[in-house]
Amino acid sequence: MCVAHLASVVQRSRLRNSMADNLETTVAFWYLAIAAVGAGGLMLVARNPVHSAISLVIVIFHVAGLFVILGAGFLAVAQIAIYAGAIVVLFLFTLMMLDMRRLPEERVTHRQIWLGIPLGILLAIEGVVVSVGTPEISASIKGAFPPATVSDLGGSTQALAVALFNEFTLPFLGASVLLTAATIGAIVLARRVEAHEQADFPQAAEGSSPVETPAEPALEESAR
Amino acid sequence: MMLNGFLVVGALLFALGATGVLIRRNAIVMLMCIELMLQGANVTLAAFSRYLDDQAGFVLVVFSLTVAAAEVAIGLAILVALSRVYPVVNVDQLDSLSG
């Protein structure tokens, strides 16, 4: 009886470890959660867009840490490679190309702030209430990949691959088509109009250099 | 239970991103705030996937990363193309279509 009880306790604690509920993961979770949300808040209040981009990198790294706690190491690496390595670098390149110093400063207070902040707080309260009220997941609705199956397959990356290349093959191919279309679209949108093509675009042909066409205020005055 | 903690983090990141889209007027920072909203959704998807013993949420995070990359590429290309004509990034000044 005592041995059976001990065995059940050991089994339960092992189960709890597999559910990522022990002390180290709890501490790591709290650190990652507070740092991610705090960096997200810093991103909102930073005046300089470069500081916002750096805060976004901090959020991305801490969310990658949360993915590690959730047992998705591949997603954490993909998150850092794609977000921190590609997306934020793209943001920084664009900030560099647009040359923010020539542009007028962003006004901190405008009329939308008085509606935006209460709505944001309302959304946060709503989300937290729903999240805290989410009931514990019963065993009857659990999926086909319990921790034992995942370790039998050889790890979380293999389990992800099994799902991705069996059940989700068609969406995967669709994602590759989307990326190709986005690449072509970005190149077409961002390229300069060449001189011999300017006959097709009369507006672009008016100024000698498209960069130095009159700014918005001049356009507004001519409209008035 | 740990699931609720992850859901709270996801909800807070999403709400922060939505607030940023509403209160910031710099188009590039607004795009970054959309990325923050996607991060919140990713945390929620991954947490549910982990605690439901299912891989579909993780796969959806992979697709979300793909869509985020495509969205940022197109969004920033539009901004670069726009900045050739109107050198402003404040979205309140881009009102030529409002009549």
Residue B40 maps to a domain: yes
B21 in a domain, yes or no?
no
On whether residue B7 sits in a domain, the answer given is no
Higher pLDDT, A81 or A153: A81
CA-angle at A18, arms to A15 and A21, nearest 5°: 90
Q: What is the pLDDT of residues A131-146, one digit of tens each?
A: 988 888 887 878 788 8
In a domain, B81, yes or no: yes
Q: Higher model confidence: residue A47 or residue B7?
A: B7
Number of domains in chain B: 1
Which chain A residues have a beta carbon less than 8 Å from that of B59? Answer: 160, 163-164, 167-168, 171
- What is the pLDDT, as a whole number, of residue A190? 82
Is residue B28 predicted with pLDDT exceeding 80? Answer: yes
What does pLDDT average to over chain A?
Answer: 79
Per-residue pLDDT of A2-37, as tens digits, reads 556 655 655 554 554 444 468 888 899 999 999 999
Per the listing, tokens 């006959």 go with A199
Restricting to A residues 109-168, those with a Cβ less than 8 Å away from any Cβ of B are: 110, 112-113, 115-117, 119-121, 123-124, 126-128, 130-132, 134, 136-137, 141-147, 156, 159-160, 162-164, 167-168
Q: Quick one: pLDDT band at residue A199, thresholds 50, 70, 90?
A: low
Question: A95 or A223: which carries more pLDDT confidence?
Answer: A95
The predicted structure's pLDDT at residue A217: 47
- How distant is the alpha carbon of residue A52 from its chain centre? 14
- pLDDT for position A218: 43
Model's pTM, two decimal places?
Answer: 0.81
Instruction: Let me know if residue B19 belongs to a domain.
Output: no
Total residues found in chain B within this entry: 99
Q: Is B37 on the interface with A (CB under 8 A)?
A: no
Domain that holds residue B42: 26-89
Report residue A191: phi and psi, to 5°: -80, 155
Residue B11 lies in a domain: no
- Its ipTM equals 0.92
Average pLDDT over residues A72-82: 92
CA nearest to A221 within chain B = B96
Which pLDDT tens digit goes with each residue over A35-55? 999 999 999 888 888 899 999
pLDDT at B57 over 80: yes
Q: Does some domain include residue B52?
A: yes
Handedness of CA B71, B76, B77, B79 (dihedral sign): positive
Region A183-208 average pLDDT = 69
Nearest partner of B39 among A51, A29, A58, A137, judged by Cα: A58
- Whether B12 maps to a domain, the answer reads no
Q: Which of A148, A134, A138, A142 is nearest to A18 (CA)?
A: A148
Least confident of A109-113, B62-66, B81-85: A109-113
Q: Which of A17-26, A101-110, B73-82 has the lowest mean pLDDT?
A: A101-110
Helix or strand holding residue A92 (H, E): helix A88-98
Q: Using 50, 70 and 90 to split pLDDT, how confident is the model at B61?
A: very high
